[in-house]
Structure 1
């Protein structure tokens, strides 16, 4: 049994992870900590476990094997490194950290303490993604030339009595979040397209906010990949009814995914559009992979490269927005190594 501490209910997915933990026969939630004491006490009561207001007491408790981190993103590095230094395994909401250098420091601490770190990138386990990967690997699209991914919702569309929409107010706190729609919801298109198209060469982004003080709520990035392909990532908090879309175009065909509708056209399959009869089986969710890696030593399919690549695009996009220009990822990586 892996005894787990829940660290904060700040993120909107915290309840989801608590539910996944409770449903996993190998996990036992033992305690809750939260930087917001009132919120943490309420959550602990709901989960019928103790609340501990001192993080040090949680991390030095020998009965605690692992932590699930849903703190504000700007606390990730400090808390995750403290957990690692206390030899606690770590599951965390994306993104891991704001900079590639911070990510590397976290991974160094994790490696030194020989604990397992999992960042939740769940769409890499989905059937549609695995099918897209299969289509590419089988050469049905030829050479990939373009990729586009859109994921948006209406979380910031004003509601009666709530001018911020249904997202919690703190999701618009630039200091805590490091950004808005792009860094949070846009993470999914970023890590999906990174995995399918390969290493990123440059990013040109427009992260649009409704005022100078707010985070972005409607964002687009053009991605240049090292293999010559181009990518378009679209995300936002202002779109009602927007479907999830993942499109791949190549020299021999095209793959269009819109929610649960999948269409493939390939010269290798003849004329017209093809709809697959079956998709690959979904892989275990990130939390399941994390626990399996702790108990059985199995290597997860979600990797450090996926996590670092996500932060690299985010960091490049923010610099592109600030300076109004195309940003080569080599600039970020050069600064990291010089630092």
Structure 2
């Protein structure tokens, strides 16, 4: 059994991770810590476990094997580095850190401590992504030329019940979040597009502050890949009813995914009509389950350090592109 401490309820997915831990036969929640003591105390009471105000006391506790980190993103590097130094396994919300330098420091600390780090990139486990990857790998679209991925919701749209939108107010705090829609919700289109198109060469972005003074709430990023493919990443907090869309275009066909509908057309199929796949690959274990299997069995996770590193790298490049109004080559990011 892996004894875990929950570190903060700041992120909207913190409760999801706690639920996954509670439902796991391999994890037991033993403690809660939160940078907001009042919030943490309440959460601990709801979960029926002790609350600890002192992070050092949590991490030095020999009964704690691992931590689940849902702190503000600006605390990730600090908290995760200390957790690694105390030889605790780490599961964390994306993004891992704000800069590639911080990401590399975390990777080095985790390797030195010989602990397992998992960043929650759940859409890499989904059957639709696995099918898209299979289509690309088999060359069913010919040479991949364009990937478009859109994920947006209405979290910043004002309603009578939520005048500032249903997202927590702190999701619009630049200091804590490091950004807005792109760094949070846009992470999913970024890591999906990266996986499908390969190594990144350059980024051109527009991060729009439509309603928020501090962070972007609507964003588009064009990614140039070394393969020659273009990635078009769209995200935002201002779109009611926006479906998830993943589109792949190649010299010999196209694959369109919109929510649960999947269609493919190509020279390897009937060129005149769209076909629906008869069967999709089985989904992979969710990130938390992969993390458990790495800790207990030494399994190789499907979510890699490269996925995690490139996610931060593109966010850095997109922020610089918007700030300076230009195309940014990845070699510029230090």
Structure 1 match to 2:283: 282
What TM-score do the two structures reach when normalised by structure 1? Answer: 0.97
Q: In 2, distance between residues paired with 1:110 and 1:149?
A: 32
Distance in 2 of aligned mates of 1:87 and 1:50: 21
Tell me how far apart the structure 1 counterparts of residues 183 and 205 of structure 2 sit (CA, whole Å). Answer: 12
| Alpha-carbon offset, residue 232 of structure 1 | 0.5
Q: CA deviation at 1:162?
A: 2.7
CA distance in 2, matches of 1:211, 1:47: 36
Equivalent runs, 1:139-218 vs 2, <5 Å = 139-210=139-210, 213-218=213-218
Give, in whole Å, the separation in 2 of the partners of 1:293 and 1:305. Answer: 17
- State the number of aligned residues: 333
Q: Normalising by the residue count of structure 2, what TM-score does the alignment of the two structures yield?
A: 0.99
Name stretches of at least 5 consecutive residues in structure 1 with no aligned partner. Answer: none
In 2, Cα distance between equivalents of 1:222 and 1:300: 29
Q: Which residue of the partner structure matches residue 304 of structure 2? A: 303
Partner Cα distance (2:223, 2:93) in 1:
24
Q: Secondary structure, in 3 states, of the residue corresponding to 1:312?
A: helix
SS of match in other structure, 2:52: coil
Aligned to 1:155, what secondary structure does the other structure show?
coil
What displacement does 1:214 show?
A: 1.9
Residues 147-176 of structure 1, C-alpha deviation per residue, up to 9 Å, x if partnerless?
100000000001214322000000000000
Rounded to whole Å, the distance in 2 between the matches of 1:159 and 1:47 is 31
Say which is worse superposed, 190-199 or 159-168, in terms of deviation.
159-168
Q: Distance in 1 between matches of 2:188 and 2:288?
A: 17
Any runs of at least 4 consecutive aligned residues in structure 1 with deviations exceeding 6 A, and if so which?
none
Q: RMSD in angstroms over aligned alpha carbons?
A: 0.8
1:273 matched residue in structure 2:
274
> 2: distance between equivalents of 1:285 and 1:49?
25
Q: For 1:127 and 1:212, how far apart are their aligned partners in 2?
A: 35
- Unaligned segments of structure 2, at least 5 residues: none
Question: How far apart in 1 are the matches of 2:161 and 2:38?
Answer: 23
For 1:159 and 1:90, the matched residues in 2 are separated by 37
